[in-house]
Amino acid sequence: MAKKANQSIKLPLIDQEALSLLEKLSNAVGVSGSEGEIRTIIKQELESCSDQISVDTLGNLIAVRHATVKNAPRVMIAAHMDEVGFMLVDKDEDGIFKFQKVGGIDDRALAGKAVQVGKNHAPGVIGACPVHLSTPAEREVIMKSDSLRIDTGPGSKDLEVGDYGSFATKFHQLGSSLCGKALDNRIGVATLIQLFKNAPDSIELIAAFTVQEEVGLRGAETSAFNLMPDFAFVIDCTPANDQQAWDKSENTLYRTRLGHGPAIYTQDSRTLYDRRLIKFVTGLAQEHGIKVQLRQPASGGTDAGAIHLTQHGIPTLSISVPGRYAHTAAMVIRKSDWEDYLQLMTIVLQNINSEILTEERP
Amino acid sequence: MDEKQFISDFLKEMISLPGISGHESDISKKIGEVWQPLTDQIQLSAIGNLYGIKKASAKNGTEPARRVMMAVHMDGIGMVVERLAGDVLYFAQIGGFDPRILPGQQVLIHTETGEVPGVIAQLAPHLLSKPFDGKPVPLDQLVIDTGMTADELKEAVHPGDIISYANLPFELPGGCIAGHSLDNRASVAAVTQCLAELQRFNHSWDVYAVGTTQEETTFLSGTTVFDVKPDIAIVIDVTFAKGPGVDGYRVKALDSGPSIGFGANIHPALYRQFKALAEQLDMPYTLDPLPSMSGTDAVPIQTAFGGVPTCVLSIPLRYMHTPVEVIALKDVMRVGHLMAEFIARLDDSSLAQLVWED
Amino acid sequence: MKKLLEELTQTSGISGEEKEIRALIRKEIEPYADEITVDVMGNLIARKGKKKVGGKRLMISAHMDEIGLMASHIDERGFVYVAAIGGVSPLTCFGARVRFTNGTEGVIYAETSKMEKVPTIAQLFIDVGATSAEDCPVKVGDTAVFVRPFLDLGNRMVSKAMDDRIGCLVAIETLKSIKKSPNEIYFVFSTQEEVGIRGARTSAYAIDPEVGIAVDVTLSADTPHGDQGNPVLGGGPCIKVRDGSLIAHPKVIAAMKKAGKNAGVETQMEVLRFAGTDAGAIQLVRSGVPAGCLSIACRYVHSPSEMVDLKDVKDAILLLTDLASKPIELSLDGIEG
C-alpha cells in the first residue's frame, strides 16, 4: 500500500524522549484506587499545554485542549492510569504481611517475585517454600495468594495495613521490544500524553486519564458522564497470545499478534464497537499505509464498556497496543506496534468529524 | 425514654417485620414513621427509596446548603414461591444465602389475602432427583409445607408470593440482639441514632437519611444519587464479626466499634477524617481493608451521576444472611454517634478538604 | 399476524448490527407512530401520544437483536473460527447453518471424533466452501446469524430469533391497536439485549420513563422432563415476579394482573432464578423506574428452533393494549409525602 502522496501530517516516531516517559510511567506505582504517582507525572507533562486540567472526585485526571474552529467535535480519549497490584491487609510479624490482589492477577504469577510497597516503594519479596522442603504432590498445587506473604525484611518500618504494592520490575528494552511492569496501561497513558501535546486545532480534545479500570471501569463511568463527548476512543493494552501452540497446530486464539500494528476492537465482553468508527479508522489506516489488525472477538473489556453506555450513549472505539503477559511482573510489547499506534491515532485525530455519525448505525 | 432503649426497641421492631428486596413497603413505612419526627420531610421514591430530609439547623455561607447523605439499605433476603406441587410448594431465593441453613426454618408467605405460615422441609431421599446421601439438599429441591391440603394451598398461595423468615428477635447477654435482617436494619438503627443526636447539634449541611431498596439483589442505590445529588455519601452496612469458625483479618470483634473502610471504593480523605474523628472521640474502631470493592451500596453510589465522595462505615455482625444474625447494640450506637459528630463538624470548607493528595 | 411474524423472525439482526430488522419494523410501524427516532446505540424508538392528565410516560421495550456468531479467525484451509455473540449453546450448533452479513452461508461443525465432551464455541468451525484463507469470503469481525425457516404448526410457531421477535410482534400489534390513552407511550425496539441489556439502558435514559415494561420470552417448564411447573405454552402471557436482573415492581405486577382481568385474559406468574430482560436495565436509570416484564413462554430458547404458542401471543397483545390505554397506579403503600 503506497503512502498518500501529499502527506501534510508529520507522523510521530518513538524517540528517546518517548521511551523515557514510558519508562518513568512504567516504573511508577499506581494501583487501582491509588493512582497519585501517575497523576503527578501526567500533570507535570501536560500542565503547560492544557487549556483546562482538573481532578474529579474519583481521581480521574481530565485535560482539555480547545479547538480553534467553531462547532468542533468533542473527542474524548480515555487511558486508564491504574495497574493491578496488591494491598497489605494484615501484619504477621517482622515485616511480613498478608496481602490481597487488586485487580485480576493469576496466582501462578506471584511467587518468587520482587515487589515494592508503600509510598516510598519499600522493597519486598513474595517468597516460596524451598523446593527441598516441599513434596512433589505439594508442587502440583497452585500457590494461592492467601498462602503467600509479602516480606519486607525484619527491620522494615513505616509500612502499614492498607499500603499498596506492585511488582518491582524495572523498565527495559528487550530486543526490538519493550519490557516492564504495568505496560497495561502506561503504554496508553504515554500515548495519550503524546497525542495531547500534538493535538490538532480542529477538535476539542478531552484526555481522560481514568482510575479504577482494573476493578470495574469505574473512573471511565464518571468521567464519561461528566464529559459527554461526541466520540470516545479508548487506548489500552490487550493480550497477544500469538506464540506457537504446543502441538504445533494452528493458533486460532491469538487474540492479537505482536508486530501487526494497533489492534482495533470489534467485540469484547462489555462492548460491541460502533462499526462506523471501525470503518473510519481502518479506512484511514489503509489510505496512509499503516499496519492495523482487528483484535479477535473475545472476552475482556476496556473503559469503553462503561463509556459507550453513558447517558443516551456515546459512539466509542477501543484501539489497543498488543502486549504479552499482561497482569504479570514482566510484560512485552513491540516497539513498532507502539509507533504504528501513535501514527494511526495522529491521523485519526486530524480527520475525525461529525459526518461519520450522519449514517445510521448498522 | 433513653436513646439506647429507644434504638433497641426500634431495632427489634424492625427485625420483626418483613421487607424482602423489592417488597419493602412494610419496613419503609415503619422507618418513615420513626424518622418523621426527627426530620423535616419524608419522601418515598417511585421505586421505593426512602428519604428523611433534615434541613441545616445552622446557617453558613453556602446557599443552598451542602448535602450529606447517609445511605442504608432497608431490604433483607428472603424467598419467593416458584410453583405448587401437591400440598407443598417450591421456592426460589431472593438475595444470596447458604441453603444449608434452611431446613426447619419457620417462614411466612405473604399472599394477596394475608399471611400463611409454613416450615421449610427437606424431603425423603427417594423423593429427590437423587438421594444426596451425606450431602446437603440443594435449594431448588427444598419445599415449604403450610399444613394445608393441596386444594386449600391452591386457593391460598400463588407463584410469585413473597416469603420471609417468621422468627422474632431476642436479646443475648452483653447487650446483643439476635434475629433476621439485622443486615441491614442495624445500620438503619444507627442512622436513626444519628438523627436523634442531631436534634441536639447544630449542623450547617442538609442531612439526607436514605433507606435504599434492593441492595441484596439488583443494587438500585445509584438512583438515590440522582434524587439527592449529595456532596458526600456515607454508606452504612454490616461486616463480618469474629465468631465460631470465622477468624482472621477479614473479621472484626463484636463490640469493637465502627469498622472504617478504605480502598478504591472510598474517598481517601473521608477515610482519614473518620479515622481521626474516632480517635478524637476516644471511640474504639477497626479498619476495614477493601482491596477492590466494598460489596455495599457504596459501589453504585460512588460512580453514580458523575461521582460522589463516598465512604463506608460497618457494624460487626455474626452469622450474616442467616435468620439468627447477632450484633452488639453498642456498635450501633457508636456508628450513629460518630456520624452525628461528623455531620456537626461539616462547614463551608469541608468540601474543599476532599482533595487527592498526590 | 403469522406472516408478519415470519418476516420478523427471518430477517437478520445480530446484536450490534440490527439495521435490517430495524428497517423492517420501522416500515411496519411508521403509519401508527407519532414520532420515530434512532439513537446512538441503534435503538428504534416510536412515540405514541402525549401525556395527558392521569397519564404517565410509559416505555415498552422489546429487543430486536438476536444471538449469532462473529468470525475470529480464518485458518489456512479456509475454515472460519468464531466467537459467540450472546448466549449461543454449542449443543445447538452441530450441523446448523449460518448466514454472514455479506450473504455467505456455511455449515457449523467440530471434530467430533476427537471430542470427549461438548465442545466450546472456540472449537467449532464454519465451512463456507473455501479452500484457503485467501479465497474465504469471510473476514475476521464478520458476523453471522442462524438460518432456519419459519415453521407454522397451527397453534404453535417455530423459528430462529423468536427471542425476541415475538416481543417485537407484540409491541408492534399493541402500537397498532391502541386507540386512546392518557399515557405517552414509547415503544422501544432495543438493541444489544443478548450481549448484556445495553440498548434498553441508553434509550431509557433518554426517554426518562415513569414506568417501564419489557416484552420478552421466558423459559417454559412443560417439556417431557421439565419441572412441570410454571410457565407452560398456551397458559397465557406471563407476569414476571423476578429473574436474575429484576425484582418486578409490585405495582407494575398489580397493573398487569388488572389489565389481564380487564382484557379477559388468563395469565401465569413467572419466577425465574436467573437471566434478565430489558426491564433490568430500565429500572436503574436516573431516579429509578418502576419496571416489570410481560413474558411469552417459549421452548428451546437460544436454539435455532424456538417455539411459542399463538394464543399466548394474542392474549399478550390484548393485555398490553389494555395496560397501555389506561392510567397506571404506581404509588407504593406507606408514607404520605
Read off the DSSP letter of residue C169.
Answer: H
Residue of C nearest to A271 (CA): C195
CA neighbor of A169 nearest in space, from A148, A159, A183: A183
Domain extents in chain A: 16-83+181-357, 85-167
Phi then psi for C113, rounded to 5 degrees?
-65, -25
Identity of the residue numbered A300: G
Of A23, A213, A214, A339, the catalytic one is: A213
B342: left (phi over 0), alpha (psi -120 to 50) or beta: alpha
Phi then psi for A315, rounded to 5 degrees?
-65, 125
pLDDT mean for each 10 residues of chain C (337 residues):
97 97 98 97 98 97 98 96 96 94 96 82 96 96 96 97 98 97 98 97 98 97 80 96 96 97 97 94 97 97 96 98 96 60
Digit-coded pLDDT (tens) for A266-275 = 999 999 999 9
Digit-coded pLDDT (tens) for B53-83 = 999 998 776 788 999 999 999 999 999 999 9
Strand-strand pairing, C151-152 and B88-94:
unpaired
Q: How far is C264 from chain A (nearest CA, A)?
A: 38
Contact A270 C141 (CB under 8 A): no
Q: How far is A130 from chain C (nearest CA, A)?
A: 38
Can you tell me whether residue A40 is helix, strand or coil?
A: helix
Q: Which CATH number fits domain A16-83+181-357: 2.60.120.10, 3.20.20.10, 3.40.630.10, 3.90.1200.10?
A: 3.40.630.10
Residue C250 confidence (pLDDT): 95
A48 touches chain C (CB under 8 A): no
Phi then psi for A340, rounded to 5 degrees?
-60, -40
Residue of B nearest to C209 (CA): B46
A71 touches chain C (CB under 8 A): no
> Which chains border A (3 or more CB–CB pairs < 8 Å)?
B, C
Q: Which residues of B touch A89 (CB under 8 A)?
A: 249, 289, 291
Cα angle at B56 between B50 and B61, to 5 degrees?
135
Domain ranges in chain B with CATH number 2.40.30.40: 78-165
Of C193, C210, C270, C306, the catalytic one is: C193
Tell me if residue C35 is catalytic. Answer: no
Q: Identify the architecture of domain B3-76+181-353 in CATH.
A: 3-Layer(aba) Sandwich (3.40)
Sheet strands (E) in A138-203:
150-151, 164-167, 172-174, 177-180
Cα R_g (chain B), whole angstroms:
21
Contact B358 A37 (CB under 8 A): yes
Residue A1 confidence (pLDDT): 39
- Helices within C150-292 (DSSP H only): 162-177, 199-207, 250-262, 278-282
Residues with Cβ within 8 Å of A153's Cβ and at least 6 positions away in sequence, in order, are: A95, A123, A124
Contact A297 C73 (CB under 8 A): no
Q: Which residues of B touch A101 (CB under 8 A)?
A: 291
Average pLDDT over residues B200-212: 96
- Per 3-state DSSP, chain A is made up of helix, strand and coil in percentages (nearest 5) of 30, 25, 45
Which helix H or strand E contains A332, and what residues bound it? strand A331-334
Tell me which residue has cell 429507644: B6
Q: Is the ipTM of this complex over 0.95?
A: no
What's the rounded Cα separation, in Å, for the pair C110 and C90?
A: 10
Residue A96, all three cell numbers: 511480613
Digit-coded pLDDT (tens) for A202-261 = 999 999 999 999 999 999 999 999 999 999 999 999 999 999 999 999 999 999 999 999
Contact A267 C83 (CB under 8 A): yes
Q: Are A203 and A104 spatial neighbours (Cβ–Cβ below 8 Å)?
A: no
Tell me which residue has cell 436523634: B196
CA neighbor of A49 nearest in space, from A210, A232, A197: A197
CA neighbor of B334 nearest in space, from B185, B179, B197, B171: B197
Domains of chain C: 2-66+160-325 (3.40.630.10), 68-147 (2.40.30.40)
Q: Which residues of C touch B160 (CB under 8 A)?
A: 239, 241, 253, 269-271
Strand-strand pairing, A164-167 and C151-152:
unpaired
Residue C147 confidence (pLDDT): 96
Read off the DSSP letter of residue B227.
Answer: H
Contact B47 C287 (CB under 8 A): yes
A198 touches chain B (CB under 8 A): no
Residue B141 confidence (pLDDT): 94
Beta-carbon-side half-sphere exposure of residue A264 (alpha carbons within 13 Å): 26
Q: How far is B299 from chain A (nearest CA, A)?
A: 9
Residue C331 confidence (pLDDT): 86
Residues (pLDDT < 70) of chain A are 1-9
User: Over chain B, what is the mean pLDDT?
Assistant: 95
Burial label for C336, CB within 10 Å (0-12, 13-18, 19+), is: exposed
Contacts of A37-43 with C-beta under 8 Å, sequence gap 24+, read: A37/B358, A38/A81, A38/A82, A38/A186, A38/A189, A38/A209, A39/A81, A39/A209, A39/B356, A39/B358, A40/B358, A42/A81, A42/A189, A42/A193, A42/A209, A43/B358
Q: Which residues of B touch C197 (CB under 8 A)?
A: none
Q: What is the residue-wise DSSP string for B181-197?
A: THHHHHHHHHHHHHHHH
Identity of the residue numbered C210: E
Largest CA distance in chain B: 74
Contact A312 C203 (CB under 8 A): yes
Residue C168, all three cell numbers: 417485537
Residue A5 confidence (pLDDT): 41
Topology at the third CATH level for domain B78-165: Elongation Factor Tu (Ef-tu); domain 3 (2.40.30)
β-sheet bridge partners, residue C315: none
Contact C141 A294 (CB under 8 A): yes
C4 touches chain B (CB under 8 A): no
Read off the DSSP letter of residue C322.
Answer: H
Burial label for A282, CB within 10 Å (0-12, 13-18, 19+), is: middle
Residue B30, all three cell numbers: 415503619
Q: Are B75 and C250 spatial neighbours (Cβ–Cβ below 8 Å)?
A: no
Which helix H or strand E contains B143, and what residues bound it? strand B143-145
Residue C334 confidence (pLDDT): 53
Contact C283 B33 (CB under 8 A): no
Q: How far is B158 from chain C (nearest CA, A)?
A: 8
What's the rounded Cα separation, in Å, for the pair A128 and A147?
A: 10
What's the rounded Cα separation, in Å, for the pair B165 and B78?
A: 7
> Which chains border C (3 or more CB–CB pairs < 8 Å)?
A, B
C-alpha dihedral (B245, B246, B249, B255), degrees to nearest 10: -130
Contact A87 B305 (CB under 8 A): no
Q: Identify the architecture of domain A85-167 in CATH.
A: Beta Barrel (2.40)
Q: Are B21 and B94 spatial neighbours (Cβ–Cβ below 8 Å)?
A: yes
Tell me which residue has cell 418476516: C7
Digit-coded pLDDT (tens) for B285-333 = 999 999 989 999 999 999 999 999 999 999 999 999 999 999 999 999 9
Domain ranges in chain B with CATH number 3.40.630.10: 3-76+181-353
